Structures are given as C-alpha cells and as structure tokens.
Structure 1
Amino acid sequence: MKPAACGGWGVVEFLIAIALGLLITLLGSGLLVASSSNYRNHSDNAWLADGGRYALSVIGQAVRHGAYVNWDSEVAAEEPETASVAGLDAASISRNAEGISDPLPPVAHGSDVLALRFAGADDGATINCAGFAVPAGVRGWSIFYVAADAGGEPELRCKYRGAAGWGADAVVRGVESFQVLYGVDTDVPPDGVPNTYVNATAVTAADAWKRVCSVKLALLLRGAFNSRADTVPGRFDLFGPAYADAHPEDVGVRVAEASLPAAEKLRARRVFSLTVALRNRDG
C-alpha cells in the first residue's frame, strides 16, 4: 500500500505568497500615508479657520475701541488732539519699547504694524487687546505686529501697556503676512467717509493720521505641515490682484508659493480680511 502524499507549499507557491503579501502591505501603506496626509490637511484647514476668525475678532474689537474718548475724564479735552491710529509698513517692533518707537526689521513677507489708542474708563468698558481693563485718565494701547516665536514660526502678537510696563502676547501662529491699509477722509470739510485706502507710508507722508476713519486689514495664515495633495503653486493677493498690480512696492500684499522654500510650499493657506470703521470721536 502506497503512503499518503504529504501536503504543503512548494517554493513557487511560497514566493507567490510573499509577493502578494508585499503587494498588499505596499497598498495598505500607501492608503495609510494618503489618509494621514488628508487628515493633516483637514486639521490644518480647521485650525486656519479658527485662528483666522479669532485674530479678526481681536483686531476688530481693538479698532472699534480706537478713538474712544471718555468725556467724563479731566483730560478729555486733550485726547482728540492725538491721532488714535498709527502704523508702520514692513516692520516689526520690540516687546518692551515704548509704543512703536523702536522699529525692527520686518518678519514674514514685510508684515505691518497697527497701533490703536483709546481713553480708559472706570467702568471697565474699555479693554486693550490682551483683555485688560484700562482705567480712566490713561490712554490705552492695542498694537499688533508679527514676530517669530521660539521655534522660528511667525506669529501675530498683541502689545499693550500694563501696570508693570509693556508686554506682548501671541494671538495666532503661522502668520505668513499681516497687511494694513488705512481709509483716509480727504474731503474738506471731512465727512467721516474714507475716499481712498493707502498704506502707512502714504498716510505719514501726507500727515493724515488724524483723517483716518477706517482700517482695512488682511492676514495670510499657513498650516504647520506640507499637507496639501496638489502641487500647483498658488498666489495670494491679500487686497486683491488690482491693488497688488498697482502697488508692487507694498511688500507682502502678494505672496507667491513658487518663491517659497520647499518645506513651506505645500502648506494649507487661507486669507482672512476685514474692514472696520473707527469710532466717531464726536459721538
């Protein structure tokens, strides 16, 4: 009687099984990488939406506080003599220096500096950009500028003067560009309606800071990783292509991904913009 044949895999079957296993592993790894990249991109975009909305909310509130005059204060008659808004183009500032008196080289595509002043009040109704109340008889400051954090990532900061001196807190990270235009009322007599929007350099040249009646600002935020699936370089015009074409000297109003380092080209990006009227000082 013949012995029963032993079952098992031959060399050929074993090699085929290994090849199929490697193929499945490769496909699974590709799906995992794609899923991880999509998750990061989705997470970055969600973070951009939250960060952009928060930054606009903080700056918008500060602009609306700008030009506030406490008419019950003893120094109310002096307050309207000082411009309530000021700014610098393509600059940063020191955390501890007085106001914007110590300009530093710009950070993140020539980002600007926006400074707002307002009167304090004893009822706690006026607060600076850090959320601290400004008492009556004191001129409050809310100053926004871009600086690099400890890891080198550009962030929008809020600078203010507190009881212990000047300080600054981060508002949002990943600020690729922060740009500001000022609505100037050129009518004689002024009617409180902006006739043109220009940058800080033009306002200073025209000695027109007291005629600024609104502020237009734009933020370009970026995610933390190269998480985009597309590889087509984009272009971001913070105030629209018409303004960027007409003002090539205004650094930072146009950011082209093609000119960025490879480690930053494929990050999620989004522009946030806001136009806010300053308070009517006579109201």
Structure 2
Amino acid sequence: MKHINSAPCLIRQLGMSLIELMVAMTAGLVLLIALAYFFLGSRQINRTHDDVSRMQESGRYALEILGKAIRQAGYRTDADSPFSGVALTGADGAKDTITVQYDPQEGGEADCTGANVAAGTLVTYAFAVNGSRELTCNNVVVADNIEDMQIAYGIDANKDGVIESYQAAGGVASFGQVAAVQVSLLVRGGTSNVAANGSQTFTYNGAPTTRTDGFLRQVYTATYTVRNQAK
C-alpha cells in the first residue's frame, strides 16, 4: 500500500518588498495631492461665487436707491410754484458725491435715514462713498462693498430733449441744465486671493484699470432721467 503523507504543506509567506512599498506610497501620495487639489479648487470656486453674488446684490441695490432719488430730484407738490430747494448738485473727487432735493409727498415722507420729512420741508438725499467701502446717504450706510462712485451729468442746455454732452461735476455750468445722470459704481468683493493670479483688469470711468490685490471687482453703470428738469 502506498503511504500518503498527511502532514500539512508548509507555505512560505513573504512580506512586501521595498519596491512594492515605495510604489504604494507614491500612489497614495499622488491620490492625496489630487484630492487636495480638487478640494482647494472647490473652495476657490465657492468663494468666487459668493463674492460675485454679494457684489451683484450690493451694486444693484445701490443703483436702485440712487436712481429712485435722482428721478425725484426737483419734484414739487405745487407745479405752478418754483422749486424752493436745489434739485441737484454734485462734486468731483477721488470719489464723487451727489445731492438731490425734492418736496415730500402730501402727509410727509421718510428719507433715506428713515426719518419722516413733513410736508412743507425738503427731502434731501446726500450720497457719498466712505473709506470703509460703503455707500452712505445722509451719513447713514445704505450699501456695502462700494469702493468708488463716479458720476457724469447729461447736459440739455436748450431744453430740447437732446443730451448735448456728459460732463463731470466740475464741467457743469448750471445744474439746472442737467437732464440725465450717469452713475458708475466700482464694487469690490470681500475675499482676497480670488482673482486669477491675484490680478484683474477691467474698464472703469472710460479707462482700463488693473488691480493686483487679489480682490474681485465689478463695475455697475446706470443712467437716470432727471424727470423734473428734462423736456
């Protein structure tokens, strides 16, 4: 009879070689770098999206407030009587300013600070941009992220309904000839290192402008008719 050896076979087990270990570590490192790259890219996209959304909100809201006031400039409750205030005036500067006045509605009207202006007095809106990048009205903040404001005034000296030219405040001979106002706002995002390579070039106030601080910026421009002076 043939003898069968019932002893279990011994299997030699070997650990990973140095080359296999290095390959595994390299693959893991590549995967880790890829994950970090995609994570940082996703964060950058989210930050950019948030900044753009905030800039759009600030720019549109600021233009809405400015437009509402400018359209009302020079309004008087008694059309047969001359306007008692100064409908519109402005000043040039590093950041332009503009002030409008009009008669309140019958029974009074709230101004931009929320204070009630009684009938028989004047509603005054004085707009400026402060050093904290905020649009203010009568020194009360009404919109943030506003870095600069530039204003041009459409002149209709002949009162024929045709704008002859747009001038800065210093070139306006009489603000009573202003039939339209063009407002340009430079709105800045709140997060640095968002702009590609830290630099952004855009056109503002008719000229190419470059910023290298990493903040995103957008320009919002609107033109409003001064209805009570335009013909």
Q: Verify same fold: TM over 0.5.
A: yes
Residues 122-181 of structure 1: CA deviation (Å, up to 9, x unaligned): 434x442345442111111111111123xxxx121111xxxxxxxx22232222321111
What is aligned with 1:202?
171
Where 2:189 maps in the other structure, the secondary structure is strand
State whether structure 2 residue 88 is matched by structure 1 residue 85: yes
What is aligned with 1:163?
none
Conservation of the 8 A alpha-carbon contact between 1:80 and 1:281 = no
What is aligned with 1:251?
none
Structure 1 pair 11–25 and aligned structure 2 pair: CA distance change class (3 A): same
State whether structure 2 residue 184 is matched by structure 1 residue 218: yes
Name which of 194, 198, 218 aligns with 1:227: 194
The letter for the 2-side match of 1:215 is V
Q: Map of 1:163-202 to 2, 5 A cutoff?
A: 168-187=139-158, 190-191=159-160, 193-202=162-171
What is aligned with 2:42?
35
Where 1:43 maps in the other structure, the secondary structure is helix
Where 2:120 maps in the other structure, the secondary structure is coil
State whether structure 2 residue 131 is matched by structure 1 residue 148: yes
Structure 1 pair 192–139 and aligned structure 2 pair: CA distance change class (3 A): farther
Residues 81-130 of structure 1: CA deviation (Å, up to 9, x unaligned): 5431111111xxxxxxxxxxxxxxxxxxx110011111123434x44234
Deviation at 1:80, TM superposition (A): 1.9
Conservation of the 8 A alpha-carbon contact between 2:182 and 2:224 = yes
What is aligned with 1:102?
none
State whether structure 2 residue 42 is matched by structure 1 residue 63: no
Task: Measure, in 2, the Cα distance between the counterparts of 1:183 and 1:66.
Answer: 14
What is aligned with 1:54?
61
Stretches (4+) displaced over 6 A = none
Conservation of the 8 A alpha-carbon contact between 1:70 and 1:136 = no
What is aligned with 2:121?
138
Deviation at 1:219, TM superposition (A): 0.7
Name which of 82, 95, 103 aligns with 1:119: 103
Task: Measure, in 2, the Cα distance between the counterparts of 1:83 and 1:220.
Answer: 27
Conservation of the 8 A alpha-carbon contact between 1:227 and 1:267 = yes
Name which of 223, 226, 230 aligns with 1:278: 226
What is the RMSD computed on CA atoms of the aligned residues? Answer: 2.6
Name which of 246, 250, 267 aligns with 2:215: 267
Where 1:227 maps in the other structure, the secondary structure is coil
Which stretches in structure 2 are left out of the alignment for 5+ residues?
A: 1-6
What is aligned with 1:248?
none
Task: Measure, in 1, the Cα distance between the counterparts of 2:226 and 2:78.
Answer: 17
Identity of aligned residues (%): 26
Residues 194-213 of structure 1: CA deviation (Å, up to 9, x unaligned): 3221111112xx2x022222
What is aligned with 1:162?
none
Deviation at 1:34, TM superposition (A): 1.1
Larger Rg: 2
Where 2:216 maps in the other structure, the secondary structure is strand
Structure 1 pair 202–220 and aligned structure 2 pair: CA distance change class (3 A): same
Size of the alignment, in residue pairs? 223
Task: Measure, in 2, the Cα distance between the counterparts of 1:237 and 1:18.
Answer: 52
Q: Map of 1:93-112 to 2, 5 A cutoff?
A: 110-112=94-96
- The TM-score with structure 2 as length reference comes to 0.84
State whether structure 2 residue 204 is matched by structure 1 residue 237: yes
